[in-house]
Amino acid sequence: MAKTHKTIFGTTEKSNFILNMTNDQFNKLASVMFTIGFSLIFVLSAVAELMSKGKITVATYDWKIVPSVSLGITGILAISIFIIAFIKQTLSKKQIVASVIALVLAVCMYISYVNAMTTVQDYNAFLGFRYGRYEGLMVYLSYLFIFLGSMTINKETTVRNIFRVFSVITVLQSIWSGLQFISSFPSFYYKVPYIMQPIMLPSGTTGSPAYLAAFMACGLAVSVFSASNDKSKVFSFIHKAAILGSAFCLTKTQTLLGYISIIVIVAAVLADHFRNRKSGNKESSTLLLMFTGLAAAAALIIIKGFAVYDGEVIWQDGCTRIAAFGQYSTSIEGAINIHSLGEVYPYLWGKAYDIIKQFPVTGIGPDAFIFLQRKGSINDVPLSVDRPYNEYLYYAATYGIPAAVSVAAAFFCSAANGVVSAAKNKSWVFRSAAVIAVLYTATAVITNSTATVTPFIWFMLGTCCATFKEEK
């Protein structure tokens, strides 16, 4: 009997290529789409960085929206992968659970979006606040799309190939960050006015040292495990270069997130190293590279004196770089010490609590955090902020408490799946993904999403929920 192929609604076989797509074809498509998407995010964020410092001029394009547009494209590519997997009915139970969580979060986001359209004036809820980061509904839906798309990948080699892209971008970010130590190269963090002495903090193309710390943590976790497991000599070298660069930049950001990330990643890598020694694998070059990068950055920090610059970075980013919120001032009522972590973060979180009290269910709206603090123009409100630097509180304030619960569930679900898969030694890629999932779930209380970095984090969260098939 001749072999028949599945069709949708009795249509022709040629129009049903999705159902008849082989697993290899599906994974190759996923690899290509994510490679295109993540490359776009890096390239267009670099363009935005150059435009913001006047190095290149585009007359008809607002530079602030570029990373968001590239993320929107990446999100569309990612959700296409999920739709194909859904149609082919290849989702596992844990993927269905994660998909339901993402769907609940998406519904909460849409309700908040509709509410913001009628209650908050003078901004576009889909694209976001025009004087800020342009991180409206489109950006946050794109995070979910990337999460859903990445969890459907079912071959280790596909994730390995995307990890190679991560390492290439990490190397490029490291080079860009290194060039920022030259005063003529684009940077908003060369001699930050809020810091008492001249100092250089790298930001790469991410927009902020705090965001670069999140990216480099992801890059280090990916490259340090990939270097010893990737059989390609070329990419093994790239991974090792990424280890050195990311370890250095992660430390030199001099942010609380950077320092916590170093401790967590070093502990995870050492634990894996000693486990491998018991099994006879004595690969140690990755450890040497990582500690070399950490030591080089530590030496530069010690010369100027150890410090953590979260408060200074936050106001330099939001006020000076993109004019999204008001000036820092010590002369007004309620002023805080910008150099004290114990004052900065409670102050930021307090702004979120004020919004949550008024909009507990729907939130104030996508990227509308600043609106309750406005009294005319942004510059008329010193000490106003557009981010609480707490991911859970930001979701609660902008999308509502149900959304915050949903995103917390997504983080914990991913971290749990990643740790279980890594503990069972199902695949080495789960080690990288699990480290980032656990790290981001814990440190989300001192960081915020950004279109230039967070897509990579959500990919890792989705990878934790992946189920790999046996490969010959």
Give the model's confidence band at 60: pLDDT under 50 very low, under 70 low, under 90 confident, else very high: very low
Q: Are 88 and 27 in contact (CB under 8 A)?
A: no
Stretch 56-63: mean pLDDT? 54
Listing DSSP states for 309-338 in one string gives: -HHHHHHIIIIIIT--SPPP-SSSTT---T
Percent of the chain clearing pLDDT 90 (strictly above): 62
CA distance linking residue 164 with residue 13, whole number of Å: 35
Work out the pLDDT band at 91, boundaries 50, 70, 90: confident
How crowded is the C-beta side of 238, counted as CA atoms within 13 Å?
21
Query: Is residue 217's pLDDT more than 80?
Result: yes
CA neighbor of 25 nearest in space, from 178, 208, 154, 171: 154
Nearest CA to 393 out of 339, 448, 326 is that of 448
pLDDT for the residue numbered 59: 47
Q: What is the pLDDT of residues 392-413, one digit of tens each?
A: 999 999 999 999 999 999 999 9
Contact (CB, 8 A) for 145 and 76? yes
Domain residue ranges of the chain, discontinuous segments joined by +: 92-131+159-313+387-464
d(CA 271, CA 261): 15
Spatial separation of the C-alpha atoms in residues 323 and 188, rounded to whole Å: 12
Residue 265, H or E segment: helix 256-278
Question: Hey, what are 298's tokens?
Answer: 């530590």
Question: pLDDT (tens digit, 9 = 90+) per residue, 418-427?
Answer: 999 998 877 8
